[in-house]
Structure 1
Amino acid sequence: MKTLNDFDDKVIVGSDETLKGDTFGGLIVVGFRANNEERERLRNLGVRDSKTITDNVILRMAEDLKEYFSNNFFILSLMPEEYNAKVGVFGLTNILNELHRKVNIELKTSISIHVVDKYPGCRVGDIIEEKAESKYVEVAAASIIARDEAIKQFEELSRMASFRVPKGSTHVTEALNFLKRKNLKPAKFVKTHFRNVKNALGF
């Protein structure tokens, strides 16, 4: 398998997604491009796997990345209603493949290499690797911006619902029941194809 060391003098586009396992929220895919000099700057900024970083630090780091690398990233964000409409037609895997492909198209150069954090059914990218965000600083940068966008999406959904929308899929029963009691349209807030959603809302 090729590693980053094989491409130290190359341009790399790393892409990562978030929210695909969360009951609430839609789907976000972000791409981030860097050359060797920019990779060093990313490391100096402390860019690393977003899973190891708190939300408050994510917000600050994402702001820095967007300021210092304003032409190096591209965001594709689906709110729940758009996500639900698409997933019913195309399926999640096809949507993921298409979004990763699109962010690479926006960022690629004639010499760039596309690195994708592996997910089931992934069919895009020159390098597809598990836990790529811990091995490629470009994927780590993409994951930070993606998580920042996810935080903002959850804040927006919380405003729409008038309660704090929970992350993940474990402790969501109370929130799902709240949607039902308030007669809020589920497709605007949650992934309607999830089993826990169907069970809670009687789909």
Structure 2
Amino acid sequence: MREIEPIVADILGKLAQCGIQVYEQVPLPYGLQLRLIFEDEKAVLNIYHSAKKGISLVIGGKTGTRIRSMLQEVVGGHVAQQALQTPESKHSWEDWIGSDESGKGDYFGPLVVCSFRANREVEKELWAMGVMDSKLLQDWQIRELAQKIYKEFPGCMNGIVLVPKTYNRIIEDMKKQGRNLNDLLAWQHFKVLEEMLSVGNAPDGVLVDQFTSRKTLSRLFLAKEIDVNLIERPRSENDAAVAAASILARFQYISAMAEMSRKFKIGFPLGASAKVDRVGREFVQKYGVERLGEVAKLHFKNTSRVLGE
């Protein structure tokens, strides 16, 4: 990638000055991985380019080593860039499940929840593969990484895609019971995780990217008397299993959006902006208001604007 060529050249020079050897350069879907060795220690340096975040530098390898300390000094010299270390787990689990969702804030398209089961060896493979929070990635990067995850780790994931028609029916029933979107999201996470927990040995824990402070998901597990070490934590995508789940969920979401666009011959935008309202009105003009629920989450405020209410 041309965007990272200058920084790669600069880093290669600094690595040579430090006595760190590059024994392999591995192309990533959106960057480059440098595999490094210093004496008997090894590490990796991933150099990414994202339209949203610019250039990011991610250090991987064992903590507390000389090579890692040296790399931190090399990376730290690029103060204009976003320099990151490989995220370190905030838990001590050896075997765990991460869960995340996509489509919650989007008027068009489904609500997707995916989960992924990892261990420490899989964690290393995910970081080396370039897995990170899906919000930092472009759609083509999501597709490439998701396909790799499905290929390399079969049986390690689960998910539920609620298409708009089903979503609208469930959320309408929940509203009648005084419940809301977070209750639906908790139920969806629960069903995905419940199925995963029913197979094989119990994991050490489950980490979910927190979507509400009400502990709704925890109460569902208690109600079903399912004993699980559950942590709901904001910004959990710095965990490898949650990051993988976020990529799979976004992949399923953008795939469903692409299929909707092909079916109705309309480009459906993301989010809930004024542009979304315009496309909603276009859809109603072409297909009628009675079919809006096939493509949109009707309880969003966008519906009133689309229908001019």
TM (norm. structure 2) is 0.61
Cα deviation 1:114-147 (Å, max 9, x = unaligned): 11101124422611111101x2110000000111
- Within the candidate set 253, 259, 269, 1:156 is matched to 259
1:102 is aligned to: 191
SS in 2 for 1:166: coil
Moved over 6 A (4+): none
Q: Which runs of 5+ in 1 are unaligned?
A: none
The CA RMSD measured in Å over matched residues stands at 1.6
Whole-angstrom CA distance in 1 between matches of 2:142 and 2:307: 33
- Within the candidate set 98, 101, 106, 1:17 is matched to 101
**How far off is 1:110 after superposition?**
1.8
Whole-angstrom CA distance in 2 between matches of 1:63 and 1:105: 24
Contact 1:30 1:73 (8 Å CA) reproduced? yes
**How far off is 1:5 after superposition?**
4.3
Letter in 1 for 2:92: F
Higher strand share: 2
Whole-angstrom CA distance in 1 between matches of 2:154 and 2:203: 20
Contact 1:116 1:124 (8 Å CA) reproduced? no
Cα deviation 1:87-112 (Å, max 9, x = unaligned): 11123222111111122122234233
Identity score, percent: 31
The structure number with the bigger radius of gyration is: 2
1:113 is aligned to: 205
1:32 aligns with 2:116: yes
1:191 is aligned to: 297
1:168 aligns with 2:271: yes
Greater RCO (CA < 8 Å, at least 6 residues apart): 1
CA pair 119-63 structure 1, distance change in 2 beyond 3 A: same
Contact 2:108 2:270 (8 Å CA) reproduced? yes
Range with bigger deviation, 100-109 or 189-198: 100-109
Q: How many residues align?
A: 199
